[in-house]
């Protein structure tokens, strides 16, 4: 076979392998790639279908907006750029809007960045960036125009087939989005991709609720191409915190109106580890039945200078009385608790007998609630406001419940009842408010 013939055969093999490999297992991909010449391996490595993870694949169906709401490093920018470049290859008449929070971000990230349309599109077709006109021209004839969300009037008038809106949560208001949507009317199926790390803005909620919108959620750890050391370092530093849940996990964390524990307050009152503690208490909010609500089990301690520290959330869900009692005993042993404070409203003396059956040495104090959960929580929330209580670590489930309690008696957190939050309140009331707190709730 001639050299030219051999090269042609190799190209045919690469083309066929590329299609097969897109659906093959990682092990099979490794075997096929190892058998190919270096030049062909480089070609395959550049193919998006082989490197994209599931969250970067466009959803099927007749959608108008594809919202990619994910953490940093998920690959949102690469996904947006790949989608734009693919559409440009397929549709030579396409008019595309590239909208960033500012014109500088649109240029630096969406166009010129390492995952922007120039880097992504150039290996497959001619891509020309005319910076003075804010315009990207593709070899197919498609044209993408750069816009800034900070200048919404620039989007009033232009018409587009397609759009890519980046970091929607940073847009100053909804005016640019409104103008973009009104101009997205060319062709038979105009549509937009939105890539953003979430923030609880009015515009974010509006886009999430749009008819014809589909959503992809994801986190930093979903991207297999990120260095493992980076992912581990980010998780160790920010995992479970509000910042980490928003920026790494892609969660949108709202503050309840009139929240007793605004999330910013919880973040302010966080330390990595507690100092030496002179007292430790485990608060318990027993479930009303079996297999329903959680049994709230939260440990807190007090240091020699009178500061309080939440040190563990050991709550269990769906456990039998014997099961949650064992969990209480185990938690008390781990933290060296000198007291277990348990609400007696559900079951009265039975609660104490169940706890003592799990560990006869448990020092159990029963408390009877004479006011609602939120009323009991208010003086404890005031301790946080006064910088007298700290979270030694991160407790996402507990903190979601605390953030769901609002002034006036409402609860808008996860689950039917803030069982973890109530257990935390019992423990801190006993530790920090002493006789005043006990008198309000009634010690049994």
Please tell me the predicted confidence (pLDDT) of residue 9.
37
**Residue, of 14 and 339, whose pLDDT is higher:** 339
First to last CA, the chain: 94
Please tell me the predicted confidence (pLDDT) of residue 228.
87
pLDDT digits (tens, 9 = 90+) for 123-162: 888 999 999 999 999 999 999 999 999 999 999 999 999 9
**Residue, of 263 and 187, whose pLDDT is higher:** 187
pLDDT tier for residue 6 given thresholds of 50, 70 and 90: very low
pLDDT tier for residue 94 given thresholds of 50, 70 and 90: very high
Of the listed ranges 113-122, 154-163, 245-254, the least confidently predicted one is 245-254
Rounded Cα distance, 168 and 149, in Å: 9
pLDDT tier for residue 370 given thresholds of 50, 70 and 90: confident
**Residue, of 438 and 101, whose pLDDT is higher:** 101
Rounded Cα distance, 86 and 91, in Å: 9
434: left (phi over 0), alpha (psi -120 to 50) or beta: left
Residue 343 has pLDDT above 60, yes or no: yes
What 3-state DSSP class applies to 112?
coil
Please tell me the predicted confidence (pLDDT) of residue 4.
46
What 3-state DSSP class applies to 254?
coil
pLDDT digits (tens, 9 = 90+) for 395-432: 989 998 998 898 766 887 788 889 999 999 999 999 99
Please tell me the predicted confidence (pLDDT) of residue 417.
86
Residue 260 has pLDDT above 70, yes or no: yes
Query: Nearest to residue 298, comparing CAs of 341, 352, 239, 355?
Result: 341
Residue 322 has pLDDT above 70, yes or no: yes
Of the listed ranges 54-63, 219-228, 287-296, the least confidently predicted one is 287-296
Please tell me the predicted confidence (pLDDT) of residue 2.
43
The token pair that represents 162 in the structure block: 């397609």
What share of the chain has pLDDT > 90, as a percent?
50
What DSSP string runs through 62-102? --SEEEEEE-TTSSHHHHHHHHHHHHHHH-TT-EEEEEESS
Average pLDDT taken over every residue of the chain: 84
Please tell me the predicted confidence (pLDDT) of residue 166.
96
**Residue, of 313 and 226, whose pLDDT is higher:** 313
Report yes or no: 119 and 110 within 8 Å, Cβ to Cβ: no
Residue 198 has pLDDT above 90, yes or no: no
């Amino acid at each position: 076979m001639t050299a030219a013939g051999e090269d042609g055969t190799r190209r045919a093999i690469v083309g066929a392998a590329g299609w097969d490999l897109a659906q093959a297992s990682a092990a099979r991909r490794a075997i096929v790639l190892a058998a190919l010449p270096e030049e062909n391996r480089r070609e395959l490595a550049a193919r998006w279908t082989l490197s994209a993870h599931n969250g970067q694949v466009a959803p099927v169906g007749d959608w108008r907006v594809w919202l990619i709401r994910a953490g940093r490093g998920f690959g949102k920018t690469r996904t947006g750029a790949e989608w734009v470049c693919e559409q440009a290859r397929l549709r030579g008449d396409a008019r595309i809007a590239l909208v960033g929070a500012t014109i500088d971000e649109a240029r630096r990230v969406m166009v010129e960045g390492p995952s922007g349309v120039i880097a992504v599109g150039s290996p497959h077709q001619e891509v020309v960036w005319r910076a003075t006109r804010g315009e990207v021209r593709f070899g197919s004839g498609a044209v993408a125009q750069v816009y800034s969300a900070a200048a919404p009037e620039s989007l009033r008038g232009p018409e587009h087939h397609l759009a890519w809106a980046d970091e929607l949560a940073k847009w100053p208001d909804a005016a640019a989005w409104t103008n973009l949507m009104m101009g997205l009317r060319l062709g038979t199926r105009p549509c937009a991709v939105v890539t953003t790390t979430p923030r609880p803005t009015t515009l974010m909620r509006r886009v999430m609720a749009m008819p014809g919108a589909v959503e992809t959620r994801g986190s930093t750890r979903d991207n297999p191409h990120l260095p493992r050391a980076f992912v581990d370092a980010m998780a160790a530093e920010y995992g479970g915190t509000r910042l980490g849940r928003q920026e790494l996990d892609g969660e949108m964390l709202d503050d309840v109106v009139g929240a007793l524990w605004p999330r910013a307050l919880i973040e302010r009152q966080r330390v990595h580890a507690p100092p030496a503690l002179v007292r430790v208490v485990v608060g318990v909010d027993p479930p009303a039945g079996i297999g329903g609500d959680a049994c709230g089990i939260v440990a807190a301690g007090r240091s020699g200078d009178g500061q309080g520290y939440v040190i563990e959330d050991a709550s269990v869900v769906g456990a039998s009385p014997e099961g949650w009692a064992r969990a209480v005993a185990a938690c008390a042993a781990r933290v060296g608790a000198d007291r277990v404070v348990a609400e007696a409203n559900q079951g009265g003396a039975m609660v104490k007998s169940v706890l003592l059956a799990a560990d006869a040495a448990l020092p159990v104090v029963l408390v009877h609630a004479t006011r609602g959960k939120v009323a009991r929580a208010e003086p404890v929330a005031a301790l946080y406001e006064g910088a007298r209580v700290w979270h030694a670590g991160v407790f996402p489930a507990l903190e979601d419940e605390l953030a769901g309690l609002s002034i006036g008696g409402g609860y808008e957190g996860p689950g039917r009842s803030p069982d973890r939050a109530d257990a935390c309140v019992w423990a801190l009331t006993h530790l920090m408010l002493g006789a005043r707190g006990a008198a309000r709730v009634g010690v049994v």
